[in-house]
């Protein structure tokens, strides 16, 4: 790490990009593990001899495990340090990911291993705003969170595209073993290169003490804009998780297979990568959060409606691109916004609450399956999702701009 100048109070270190890069890789890996069954739901169900819903449970476990673990993990991030906490979660992720690859066609063992990976996920996701707060100046923080979001989207897109492509010639358990080895390698790199914080903070507010966690929790819930964003996070992440979890089942009634489903998911996520980089950077440059949150939510609605009604594959791809670009760009901007309006609540605590409400939307993922038509269509579920997204966009108008 670079040295500090005598008498300087703040300093921006180039090493911040190394720390962020290592953090991005473990987040990429956990998303790859989360989504890797979704584009091959049918073949995986045949392999394990179970229903589509029980394969969907692999994805839902990540959201279910988040609910009891989010607050304790946030406490660990804010009190024990983010590097130690994320390092533990990364090691846990790698170990259970390898175990899942070794489970073969044993659904029970694969379920247990998936539960272990799912329990590791909060250790990674709840530090999204903590790392930028310690390493980056204010004008780069939404961009930094956007880059972590980008890594998550790349991991999800890789799982969408690589899994069905590999499944053409490689057994699903072997694919999972490949992913497990990759995840373990990412964890090892993170543990080796990450640092808790620079010798000198990047800005005055980075060095400020934050409220104790319980005080911070109480304070966050007294902030109207923070409470409203919790509702918006529940809706937005519920829709994102629902669409990505059931992508293969959504397009199956229209005659498309796992390969087309994986490519469609990849289109959505690649567009999301662009949005997660472009719009947060524009938000940082303008010093505004609220307009970009409202814009992203409103513009995502046509994309979601297109997934429900588009009759052809090109129109489905266009709809997925619009949905991905706008909906995913809201995530990093919104998380940074929430951490700003909730101060002096610690970043790990506010981030953990946002992620908790987002992952609690597992109920929406289940309801999407429950609302399927007799022919397997998800049209009704997607219409309901569009209405909820419209309500979320309306709520965004009442947010107070952060300072």
Question: Mind listing the pLDDT tens digit for each residue in 118-177?
Answer: 999 999 988 888 888 889 988 888 788 878 888 888 898 888 888 988 998 999 999 999
* Domain definitions of the chain by residue range: 16-197+205-396
Tokens 């087309």 found at: 260
- Predicted pLDDT of residue 214: 61
pLDDT in tens, 331-372: 888 888 888 888 777 766 777 777 777 777 677 777 887 887
Domain 16-197+205-396: CATH superfamily is MFS general substrate transporter like domains (1.20.1250.20)
Q: Which residue has the higher pLDDT, 193 or 127?
A: 193
Query: Would you state the pLDDT for residue 266?
Result: 82
Annotate 318-357 with b (16+ C-beta within 10 A) or e (fewer): bbbbbbbbbbbbbbbbbbbbbbbbbbebbbbbbbbbbbbb
For the cut 70, the answer to whether the pLDDT of residue 72 exceeds it is: yes
- Short-list 346, 388, 326, CA closest to 213: 346
Read off the DSSP letter of residue 399: P
Instruction: Please give the model's pTM, rounded to 2 decimal places.
Output: 0.72
Structure tokens belonging to residue 256: 């498309």
- Please state whether the peptide bond connecting residue 344 to the residue before it is cis, i.e. omega within 30 degrees of 0: yes
* 233 contacts 357 by C-beta, under 8 angstroms: yes
Q: Tell me the C-alpha distance between 125 and 128, whole Å.
A: 6
- List, in order, residues 6 or more apart from 118 with CB less than 8 Å away: 34, 61, 62, 64, 65, 66
The DSSP code for 205 is G
Q: How close are the terminal C-alpha atoms of the chain, in Å?
A: 31
Residue 15, CB half-sphere, CA atoms under 13 Å: how many?
17
Determine the average pLDDT of the residues in 383-389: 90
Q: Is 209 exposed, middle or buried (0-12, 13-18, 19+ CB in 10 A)?
A: exposed
Average pLDDT rounded to a whole number, residues 166-194: 95
The candidate with the shortest Cα–Cα distance to 246, out of 267, 265, 260, 233, is 265
């Amino acid at each position: 790490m670079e040295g500090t100048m005598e008498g300087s109070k703040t300093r921006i270190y180039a090493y911040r990009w190394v720390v962020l890069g290592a953090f991005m890789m473990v987040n990429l890996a956990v998303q790859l593990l989360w989504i890797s069954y979704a584009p091959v739901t049918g073949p995986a169900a045949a392999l394990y001899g179970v229903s589509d819903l029980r394969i969907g449970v692999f994805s839902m476990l990540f959201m279910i495990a988040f609910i009891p673990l989010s607050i304790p993990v946030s406490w660990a991030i804010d009190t024990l340090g983010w590097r130690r906490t994320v390092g533990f979660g990364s090691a846990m992720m790698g170990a259970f990911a390898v175990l899942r690859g070794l489970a073969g066609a044993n659904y029970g063992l694969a379920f247990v291993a998936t539960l272990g990976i799912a329990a590791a996920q909060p250790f990674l996701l709840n530090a999204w705003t903590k790392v930028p707060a310690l390493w980056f100046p204010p004008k780069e923080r939404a961009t930094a969170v956007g880059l972590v979001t980008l890594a998550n989207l790349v991991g999800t897109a890789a799982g969408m595209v690589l899994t069905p492509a590999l499944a053409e010639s490689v057994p699903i358990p072997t694919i999972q073993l490949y992913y497990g080895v990759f995840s373990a390698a990412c964890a090892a790199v993170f543990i080796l290169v990450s640092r808790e914080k620079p010798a000198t903070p990047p800005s005055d507010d980075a060095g400020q003490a934050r409220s104790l966690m319980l005080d911070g929790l109480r304070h966050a819930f007294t902030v109207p804009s923070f409470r409203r964003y919790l509702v918006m996070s529940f809706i937005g992440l519920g829709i994102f998780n629902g669409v990505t979890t059931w992508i293969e089942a959504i397009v199956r009634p229209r005659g498309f297979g796992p390969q087309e489903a994986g490519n469609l998911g990849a289109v959505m996520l690649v567009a999301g990568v662009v949005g997660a980089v472009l719009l947060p950077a524009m938000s940082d440059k303008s010093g505004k959060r609220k307009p970009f949150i409202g814009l992203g939510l409103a513009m995502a609605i046509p994309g979601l409606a297109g997934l429900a009604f588009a009759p052809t594959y090109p129109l489905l791809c266009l709809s997925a691109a619009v949905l991905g670009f706008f909906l995913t760009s809201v995530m990093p901007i919104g998380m940074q916004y929430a951490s700003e309006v909730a101060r002096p609540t610690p970043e790990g605590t506010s981030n953990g609450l946002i992620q908790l409400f987002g992952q609690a939307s597992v109920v929406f993922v289940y309801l999407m399956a429950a609302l399927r038509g007799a022919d397997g269509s998800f049209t009704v579920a997607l219409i309901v999702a569009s209405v909820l997204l419209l309500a979320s966009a309306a709520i965004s108008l009442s947010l107070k701009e952060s300072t």
